[in-house]
Amino acid sequence: MGWLWAIIVGLVLGLLAKAIIPGKQHSPLWLTTIFGMLGAVVGNAIARGFGVEETKGIDWSRHIFQVIAAVAIVYLGDSLYMSTVGKRKHRA
């Protein structure tokens, strides 16, 4: 069940990051989901670094770190995706 939640959270974070980033992103949905999952993991690590562990109720500060990390990872990942796919399409 943990993997299912990781995929759901990754999908939500990835789509939220795509909505925040201006312009069009070209990475496919499966890659956006993976970027979102990475954002969740990195955001949790950053939150732990700032001393934010589990709290009572909704952990808003940890979620903010996750969204920020997801935005950065989706932006960088999409840039890398476009640079590799763009080169392949240009050669053909």
Is 2 part of any domain?
no
Structural domains counted in the chain: 1
Share of the chain above pLDDT 70, in %: 90
Residue 15 has pLDDT above 80, yes or no: yes
Closest of 34, 77, 68 to residue 14, by C-alpha: 34
Is 82 part of any domain?
yes
Is 23 part of any domain?
yes
Closest of 34, 16, 42, 22 to residue 77, by C-alpha: 34
Is 1 part of any domain?
no
Exposure string (b/e) for 12-23, b if CB count within 10 Å is 16 or more?
bbbbbbbeeeee
Q: Which domain holds residue 80?
A: 8-91
Sign of CA dihedral 65, 59, 32, 5: positive
Q: pLDDT grade, residue 69 (50/70/90)?
A: very high
Is 3 part of any domain?
no
pTM of the model: 0.85
